[in-house]
Amino acid sequence: MEGDSKTQPKSDDKMGAADHLELERTSFTESLTEMVVADDWEPIPADPNYTNPLVRFYRKRINGYDHIAPNFFLVQGYEKHLAGFQARPSDIIVASFPKSGTTWLQELVWRVVHGETGVSSGDATLEYRFPTLEFPPSPIMNMRPLEDVPEPRLIKSHLPYQMLSESVLSSGAKVLYVSRDARDACVSAYHWSRMVNLYVYRGTFPEFRERFTRGLLFPGPYKEHVKGYLDHADTVLCLTYEQLHSDRAEAVRKIAAFLGRMLTDADVEGIVANTGFAAMKANPNTNFHQWHEKGFARKDQEEGGQLRKGVVGDWRNYFTEAESDAFMKWRNEPV
């Protein structure tokens, strides 16, 4: 096993974990109330369907991409954090548009890299083992500073390809990308936005779908995001959620080959057996139940949690045939 990414440190003796979290929440709320956003970020008109009154979204064109970021990113020093990131040759980055299979691909990559084929994912949650590039470290999110992560650093990102730093492109870091049928990604994002207490979205699905197609959700326009990575498929390993469903063993072999890792057939079988939806949902290190305990997400599980259904084609329960046709006409228009 490589690195020490299986174990996370305990809270210090002077202050309990609950005290740390409450202090961070209070400071965070005060910062949102008082924040001043730079002039080069265009405010998006407030959407009353986000019933958390503090939530606002901003847009900024960066390297040709109309990037959308919520104010709670900007208040945490988002741009400064991104500007300070320096990729290393051994870095492995899993990228996606949100709700496209990120968690699934992260766990597969972690197991391939660490040779873990059993039930366990170590003693640490996925956020700790696989910090997010664009988020500063946070006790609430249980993410440590990227500088503290042993090599090879496993890093998650929802940034578009256009916003990856030059160091990622020049260092030899490995980038993997997972995409998903846009209809299923939209449905999953809708439920996620209803579950997360930072958003508390309470609009209808058609209202949310309109925001999706207009590119008003983090991190910005869906089609441009997917195209950015697919246009670089010569250097980026591009997989789909549907492939992870239909032939996960083949996906694991592709990941291993891309990362230069040797796996036996038994290794592949072990990884596949322990990364099905039921196994991931039962695994405390991949099911994100800690979000509910920490108040980041609703505890009633009405929206199904971070891992909701894990199926292909759930969009059929949300789109009429005419709506699907119109949505796919939009999806297939060139950008």
Tokens of 225: 């995001």
The confidence score (pLDDT) of residue 47 equals: 92
- Above pLDDT 70, what percent of the chain? 80
Which distant-in-sequence residues (6+ apart) come within 8 Å of 127 by Cβ? Answer: 141, 142, 143
pLDDT tens across 19-67, in order? Answer: 444 444 555 566 666 677 888 999 999 999 988 778 889 999 999 999 9
Q: Where are the domains of the chain?
A: 27-332
Enumerate the active-site residues. Answer: 158
Mean pLDDT, rounded, of the chain: 85
Instruction: Answer positive or negative: Cα dihedral of 274, 276, 280, 282.
Output: negative
What's the pTM?
A: 0.86
Q: What is the CATH number of domain 27-332?
A: 3.40.50.300
Residues linked to residue 174 through DSSP beta bridges, in sequence order:
92
Report residue 131: phi and psi, to 5°. -60, 160
pLDDT tens across 272-301, in order? Answer: 999 987 877 777 666 555 555 655 655 555
Cβ pair 167, 87 in contact under 8 A: yes
Cβ pair 241, 101 in contact under 8 A: yes
Residue identified by tokens 């779908």 is 209
The confidence score (pLDDT) of residue 11 equals: 45
